[in-house]
């Protein structure tokens, strides 16, 4: 699922693990906005230089000292980064295949399925896709390709 500040993944992870302890919870960010990913890897907050990204909702979100990191460390099994081109593909696929208008951050959860399909082969997958707050011209440019 998409990870910005960590609130969404923590809430869903706690609920999912209470129903099925052995389910694997995977968070996804982009390389351009990877503060929670890098902090999760290290086990404490780190500073990360952010750059432009289609997942603009992730930018500038996590405050040092936020309780979400401790909870993410406890409940999230894996964190992954996806490439910007993969986000473009995910937005386009969600539109062409499902008629869903999804912003970059909301489409990050589709990224790992596109970048590493063999890892997910044969597994039951739930992918959280959220928020359609994407600028109209950007959406049209992505979906025309």
**Domain residue ranges in the chain:** 7-144
The ranges of the chain with pLDDT < 70 are 61, 145
DSSP the chain: -B-SSSHHHHHHHHHHHHH-TTPPPEEEEETTB-HHHHHHHHTS---------S-GGGTT-PPTT-HHHHHHHHH--EEEEE-HHHHHHHHHHHHHHH-----HHHHGGGHHHHH-HHHHTTS------------HHHHHHHHH-
| pLDDT for residue 60 | 72
pTM of the model: 0.91
From the options 1.10.490.10, 3.40.50.1100, 3.10.300.10, 3.40.50.150, give the CATH code of 7-144. Answer: 3.40.50.1100
Give the tens place of pLDDT for each residue, 72-96: 999 999 999 999 999 999 999 999 9
């Amino acid at each position: 699922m998409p990870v910005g500040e960590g609130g969404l993944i923590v809430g869903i992870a706690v609920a999912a693990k209470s129903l099925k302890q052995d389910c694997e919870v995977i968070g996804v960010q982009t390389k351009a906005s990877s503060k929670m990913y890098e902090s999760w890897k290290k086990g404490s907050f780190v500073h990360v230089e952010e750059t432009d990204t289609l997942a603009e909702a992730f930018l500038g979100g996590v405050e040092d000292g936020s309780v979400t990191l401790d909870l993410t460390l406890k409940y999230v099994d894996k964190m992954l980064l996806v490439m910007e081109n993969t986000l473009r593909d995910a937005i386009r696929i969600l539109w062409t295949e499902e008629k869903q208008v999804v912003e970059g951050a909301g489409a990050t959860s589709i990224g790992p399925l596109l970048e590493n399909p063999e890892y997910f082969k044969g597994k039951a997958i739930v992918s959280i896709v959220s928020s359609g707050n994407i600028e109209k011209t950007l959406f049209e440019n992505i979906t025309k390709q």
